[in-house]
Amino acid sequence: MRDAGRYEPYSYFQLMEVSLRELLVEKGIVTADAIAGAMATMRERGPERGAAMVARAWLDPAYKARMLADGSRAAGELGFEVPGLRLIVVENTSSEHNVIVCTLCSCYPRMLLGIPPEWYKSRPYRSRVVREPRKVLAEFGLRVPQKTAIRVHDSNADMRYLVLPMRPKGTAGWSEERLAGLVTRDCLIGVAVPELPKKPKSRKS
Partner 1 sequence: MIERSHHDMGGLPAGKVRRDEHAYDDWQLRVDAMMMLLVGVVGGRKRMTVDELRKNIESLPPADYDRMGYYDRWVTSLTQTMIQRGVITTDELARKMAEVGKRKNGV
Partner 2 sequence: MGSDPIFRPGDRVRVRQAHPLGHIRTPYYIRGHTGVVERVCGAFPNPEELAQQRDGLPAQPLYRVRFRQKDVWPGYRGSAADVIEVEIFQHWIER
Among all residues, which ones are annotated catalytic? 102, 105-107
Cβ nearer to partner 1, comparing 63 with 140: 140
Residues that contact partner 2, how many (by CB under 8 A):
23
Is residue 34 near partner 1 by the rule CB under 8 A?
A: yes
Phi and psi (nearest 5°) for 73? -65, -40
Cross-strand partners of 100? 153
Is residue 14 near partner 2 by the rule CB under 8 A?
A: no
3-state secondary structure 39-108: HHHHHHCCCHHHHHHHHHHHHCHHHHHHHHHCHHHHHHHCCCCCCCCCEEEEECCCCEEEEEECCCCCCC
Is residue 128 near partner 2 by the rule CB under 8 A?
A: no
151 makes contact, choosing from partner 1, partner 2, none, with CB < 5 to 8 Å by partner type, with partner 2
Q: How far apart are CA 178 and CA 51, in angstroms?
A: 10
Site string for partner 2, 154-183 (x = CB under 8 A): xxxxxx------------------------
Site for partner 2 in 35-94 (CB under 8 A): 86, 88
Instruction: Kindly state the smallest distance separating residue 8's Cβ from partner 1, in Å.
Output: 6
